[in-house]
Amino acid sequence: MSKIKESRIISTALIIMIAVIALAGVNYIIMQPEEIIYAEGWENDFPDQYQSYLRNAEMVQTTYGGSKPVDYLEKYPELRTIYEGVGFDIEYLRARGHVYSLEDVIHTERNKAGASCLACKTADYVAMEDEHGSDLYAMNFYEMAEGAKAGVSCYDCHRNQPGVLEITRGHLKKGLEYLEEDYNKKNLVCAQCHIEYYLDPETKEVTVPWKYGTDVADIEATFIEWNFTDWTHPRTGGDLYKIQHPEFETYLGSVHDSFGVTCVDCHMPQMQNEEGESYHSHHWTSPLHTVEASCLGCHSQAGNELIGEVEALQGRVEEKNIEVIQKLVELITRIEEEKEDLPEDVLEAVYQLHRSAQVRWDFVFVENSQGFHHYEKAMAYLEEASDMIEEALNMMD
């Protein structure tokens, strides 16, 4: 064989080899597993978690809670006065299961400020934030919502590694920077959404007001420093705050927190499948449906006795809640009638007391456990609210 022919064969072989390597490389990139955002993608790999996840579509009511979308405006008509002008006087339904979160935010009659309203409603938001960064927040709500397909899903807590807990929400990481403690991830995955937050009026960024801590007074102090209020009440002319769903903040410092019991222990109890293997329930709902698995590992009472104790605490919170609701309506009516005649400094002081009272009541009212997560805290906030309203009413006498 001539030298030339030989080198031709070698170079042809080289080219083929390089081509094969290059193609394999391209192929390798193409074949990288796609991110799985929707629960269906894990149906075969994790059937127990997936099947329990499907149960989030169920709607069952309990005495004070549950997943039926109860109409709060019908249950408490006074809310039309208390929330007048902030949207919750138009429509306000009780929260239901995680699979409904996307459709519920799209269909609410309340106003949507921007795409950041999707932050706690869909796993697609995580992928959108990866793609658009901080430009996402103020983008058009409906355009972004069209691209989203599912409510809360595996990707929200695990990204692509089911079983490994990951904090996917930047707003929580930012909020936690203000706090000194290291919290258990089994609380933090829930705190991604079950916390107080607001949308920055300009950038629409999801903002967690924990600069001074997580108690209502700390959150109020943060609002004051950041010069934020949610709206001006059309009847009184005073500025007010609107609280969202501070389950995490309420639970902090409770008996259960101090014993290290996490959201997951009660709301995602260990279950067994037919083969006797255990897994965490992924049906997030009232733990009163699962007291045996959720509570009786620690509590020695009979199940219905323990439920009775929970409902007794919730009943006392409800009684106090109704008392404060009525006093708030009285205060709003009095301010509306008398504001023209009050000296400016008195009116300012009355506005301040109304704002502080209402934020304390709202913190308890919109928290979804009806005070169970931290009974003493809930009662103390309602007590403070009640005293502040008295003080404001007295100032107008």
Please, which of residues 77-116 interact with ligand HEC by CB under 6 A? 95-98, 100-101, 104
Max Cα-Cα span within the chain: 115
Helix 344-365 crosses helix 303-338 at what angle (to 10 degrees)?
160
Which residue number places its CB atom closest to ligand HEC? 65
**Short-list 199, 305, 190, CA closest to 251:** 190
- Tell me if residue 48 falls in helix, strand or coil: helix
Among 108, 184, 352, 368, binds ligand HEC (CB under 6 A): 368
Among residues 194 and 355, whose Cβ is nearest to ligand HEC?
A: 194
Among 80, 110, 112, 280, binds ligand HEC (CB under 6 A): 280
- When binding is defined by CB under 6 A, the residue of 36, 145, 266, 364 that contacts ligand HEC is 266
Please, which residue, 17 or 255, has the CB nearer to ligand HEC?
255
363 lies in the site for ligand HEC, by CB under 6 A: no
8 A C-beta contact, residue 194 and residue 284: no
29: left (phi over 0), alpha (psi -120 to 50) or beta: alpha
Stretch that binds ligand HEC, among 4-12, 140-148, 212-220, 298-306 (CB under 6 A): 298-306
Q: Which stretch binds ligand HEC (CB under 6 A): 78-86, 257-265, 338-346, 354-362?
A: 257-265
Q: Which of residues 24-63 bind ligand HEC (CB under 6 A)?
A: 39, 42, 46, 49-50, 53, 62
Give Cα separations from 252 to 241, 255, 355 (angstroms).
Answer: 22, 9, 24
Query: Contact region for ligand HEC (CB under 6 A) — 26-34, 141-149, 151-159, 170-178?
Result: 151-159
Q: How far is CA 165 from CA 98, 161, 183, in A?
A: 17, 8, 13
Interacting residue with ligand HEC among 159, 171, 194, 233 (CB under 6 A): 194
Whole-angstrom Cα distance, residue 126 to residue 45?
Answer: 22
Residue 356 binding ligand HEC, by CB under 6 A? no
Nearer to ligand HEC by Cβ, of 47 and 234: the residue is 47
Q: List the one residue out of 83, 362, 78 whose CA is nearest residue 236.
A: 83
Asked if 190 interacts with ligand HEC (CB under 6 A), we say yes
Place of tokens 């409904």: 100
Report the alpha-carbon distance of residue 343 to residue 350 in Å, rounded.
Answer: 11
Taking residue 59's Cβ as centre, other Cβ atoms within 10 Å add up to 13
Using CB under 6 A, which of the segments 26-34, 236-244, 262-270, 348-356 binds ligand HEC? 262-270
- According to the binding rule CB under 6 A, does residue 64 interact with ligand HEC? yes
> How many binding residues for ligand HEC (CB under 6 A)?
73
Q: Which of 165, 167, 329, 346 binds ligand HEC (CB under 6 A)?
A: 165
CA distances from 208 to 65, 121, 152, 246, 300 (A): 26, 16, 20, 11, 38
Pick the closer one to ligand HEC by CB: 141 or 372. Answer: 372
**Residue 158 in contact with residue 50, Cβ under 8 Å?**
no
The contact mask relative to ligand HEC for 303-332 (x = CB under 6 A, - = no) is ---x--xx----------------------
